[in-house]
Amino acid sequence: MKLCALGIETSCDETAVAVVEADDHGCRLIGEALATRPEEHALLGGIVPELTVRQHLELLPKITAQARGKCGRSSFHVVGATAGPGLAPALLVGLAFGKALAWAEKVPFHAINHLEGHLFSPFVSCGKWPEYPHLALIVSGGHTLLVDAVSPSERRIVGTTRDDAAGEAFDKLARMVGLGYPGGPEIENEAKGGEVGIYSLPRPMKGAPGCDFSFSGLKNAARLLLEKNPDIARSGSARSNFCAEVQAAISESLVDRCRNALEQTDRRLLTVSGGVSANQGITRALEELARRSGAKLLTAGAGWNTDNASMIAAVTARRALDGVASDWDTDADPRWSVAG
């Protein structure tokens, strides 16, 4: 008999619920529902916590009913909800809703680390459980870090950002030249018509020892470039060339840090997840790095790379299969580390 787990994700602006079936051999998604309102956040220049909380409160009951309807299951064996890291008010909404749902259904409840969900996603999107050891790159709007996943219970962070996350840098750089939100897809699309090298931007931390990231210098250099060349912000070849340079700068930085981490850990499996991993130019560069390093790259499948409830449901299912006790007393932790 397969175990049925329901997961809830509200760490940021997405309101998401998913249901998976799982056993010791792996898991599969059987129903999900997602709601987000990027156009509202775009008008305000980014995520507004108050708006996000109202969205979660309004949509969670409806989204949960939709996910349950899609999977054709009237009951489930366990409930999990993201408890951190993320926006504290948003986390509290999903956590409280998940506990109430589990209590009403008389099933166990698990508080899930959002980043652990990202660690799972490259594997569970293929229907299998994580393989160990492996090196994981999590790269999104809120996080950029390298995790050495030694075993299910042993993880250590080998590299993290010293300032902005890569996705946040994409958003801010896109805003500088009048592109929409989220900035990553906008810059990637605009860069297709541009040429690298027309403008010169730094490759943050490239060639430096260690595995840490930094993107504040790139933003500052871009700001100075735009002050001297304001025409770049207008649509046309100048903006496309600027976006191509930004895309190359962030991609080369990520690849360089991953190269150091692979050498440091001697891992032969590299995974990448998080919203920025949907950037095809970046994943192609990481594939080439893995090939040259004698490693294999595993990416999260479409729909699993950005914030989603499927990965939360998968971690919840694994906890239940492993007999982990319920987390009724766990509170939201906006800075919950994935190291363990």
Q: Are residues 111 and 151 in the same domain?
A: no
Q: Tens digit of pLDDT for each residue in 273-310?
A: 999 999 999 999 999 999 999 999 999 998 899 899 99
Q: Residue 226: name the closest of 175, 299, 278, 150 by CA.
A: 175
DSSP readout, 248-299? Answer: HHHHHHHHHHHHHHHHHH--SEEEEESGGGG-HHHHHHHHHHHHHHT-EEEE
| Residue 333: predicted pLDDT | 97
Q: What is the CATH number of the domain that holds 258?
A: 3.30.420.40
Low-confidence ranges of the chain (pLDDT < 70): 1, 37-49
Domains in the chain, number: 2
Domain-located, residue 281:
yes
**Residue-number span of the structural domain to which 60 is assigned:** 3-125+303-321
pTM of this structure: 0.94
d(CA 164, CA 144): 8
| Residue 46: predicted pLDDT | 55
| Residue 312: predicted pLDDT | 98
Distances (CA, A) of 227 to 116, 199, 308: 41, 13, 38
Tokens of 116: 């652990």
Question: Under the phi-then-psi rule, with left for phi > 0, alpha for psi from -120 to 50, and beta for the rest, what region is 324?
Answer: beta
Q: Residue 222: name the closest of 208, 237, 233 by CA.
A: 233
Asked if 175 and 43 count as a contact pair (C-beta separation under 8 A), the reply is: no
Q: Are residues 246 and 158 in the same domain?
A: yes
Q: Residue 45: name the closest of 140, 168, 144 by CA.
A: 168
Q: Are residues 205 and 240 in the same domain?
A: yes
| Residue 52: predicted pLDDT | 83
Asked if 301 and 275 count as a contact pair (C-beta separation under 8 A), the reply is: no
